[in-house]
Amino acid sequence: MTQIGFFPGCSLKGTSSEYAQSIFTLSKMVGINLVEIEDWNCCGASTVHNINNKLSVTLPARILTLAKQQKLTEIVAPCAACYNRLCIAQHQLKINKFLRNQLFETFQICIDNNISILNIIQYIEKYIFEKIKEKIIYFFKYPVVCYYGCLLVRPHKILNFDRLEDPQSMDNLMKKIGALPIDWAYKTECCGGGFSVSRTDIVVKLCGEIIKDAINKGAEAIIVACPMCQSNLDTRRSCINNYLHKKTNIPVIYITQAIGLAIGIKKKDLGFKKLFVKPTFI
């Protein structure tokens, strides 16, 4: 059985446990053992890097050090914010010898730049899809918009993942399971992220525009790969409806849930019951 490191981050252990459920369900089907990093801590997203740069590097650097101690050479970070912070910390410690020495002297943190960090789309492309493509019998035949958010592709020079303004990787995966990805204007716009609690008015406005464009383009679902994006677009729906002055029923589905449906996994095994806006078409 293939063994890959797994960093759940705070969201997948709480508000987005359905995301974790769908990931583990798919992984088990293809014989992958996801090994959770022991004694992990919060990566610092999404506020620490705005307050203290050293701490913003220390937190994810400790996670990577723990992964190294477990002899993990590759880890998947399904949360886009966690993926972002881990990659940035790895990059900063690679180029900043002074900071690297500081963390080693103070915390015995010894960063390993050889650890490969995968986001959920990279993980699906590398380990999941080829093994399940023959199982796709319940085609996900719906028009959808793929929402990447701002942290999955930025900063491009560090992450080097997909196209910056018009990414296609998630769209391509959705095409392969029978969906019709629609071109739209908001695929890499911000949902409000860290303002989810402190400035809900900003979140509601940003998410309202995202949902409005998705509906106007004729989408029946918004496909996501980030728990913060999913939470803002889904759980804030009543406030978003007030902002838009109408009720909206477009669901926000994780890409792992969509793929799971396409290969016949039951909704209850993919965590659909936790969604605030339930899909009516499945």
Q: In this structure, is residue 65 part of a structural domain?
A: yes
pLDDT tens-digit profile of 21-49?
Answer: 999 999 999 999 999 999 999 999 877 87
Both 236 and 150 in one domain: the answer is yes
Work out the percent of the chain whose per-residue pLDDT is above 90: 84
pLDDT score of 48: 81
Phi/psi for 280 (5° steps) reads: -100, -10
CATH assignment at residue 204: 3.40.50.11810
115, 73 contact by CB (below 8 A)? yes
Q: Is 198 exposed, middle or buried (0-12, 13-18, 19+ CB in 10 A)?
A: exposed
How many structural domains does the chain have?
Answer: 2
Both 32 and 68 in one domain: the answer is yes
Q: In this structure, is residue 144 part of a structural domain?
A: yes
Both 110 and 9 in one domain: the answer is yes
pLDDT score of 89: 93
Both 144 and 23 in one domain: the answer is no
pLDDT tens-digit profile of 166-186?
Answer: 999 999 999 999 999 999 999
pLDDT tens-digit profile of 120-157?
Answer: 999 999 999 999 999 999 999 999 999 999 999 999 99
Both 68 and 14 in one domain: the answer is yes
Q: In this structure, is residue 130 part of a structural domain?
A: no
In which element (H, E) is residue 159 found?
Answer: helix 156-159
CATH assignment at residue 114: 1.20.1050.140
Both 107 and 163 in one domain: the answer is no
Both 172 and 265 in one domain: the answer is yes
Phi/psi for 245 (5° steps) reads: 60, 35
pLDDT tens-digit profile of 66-84?
Answer: 999 999 999 999 999 999 9
pLDDT score of 112: 66
Both 112 and 189 in one domain: the answer is no
The half-sphere exposure of 47 on its side-chain side, counting CA atoms within 13 A, is 5
Print the domain residue range for 105: 2-118
pLDDT tens-digit profile of 217-276?
Answer: 999 999 999 999 999 999 999 999 999 999 999 999 999 999 999 999 999 999 999 999
Q: In this structure, is residue 124 part of a structural domain?
A: no
Both 59 and 182 in one domain: the answer is no
Q: In this structure, is residue 232 part of a structural domain?
A: yes
Both 111 and 166 in one domain: the answer is no
Q: Long-range pairs for 274-281 at CB < 8 Å and ≥24 separation?
A: 274/17, 274/18, 275/18, 275/234, 275/251, 276/234, 276/235, 276/237, 277/234, 277/237, 277/248, 277/249, 277/250, 277/251, 277/252, 278/251, 279/221, 279/251, 279/253, 280/249, 280/251, 281/142, 281/220, 281/221
Mark which of 72, 91, 118 sits at the end of a domain.
Answer: 118
Both 89 and 213 in one domain: the answer is no
Both 269 and 148 in one domain: the answer is yes
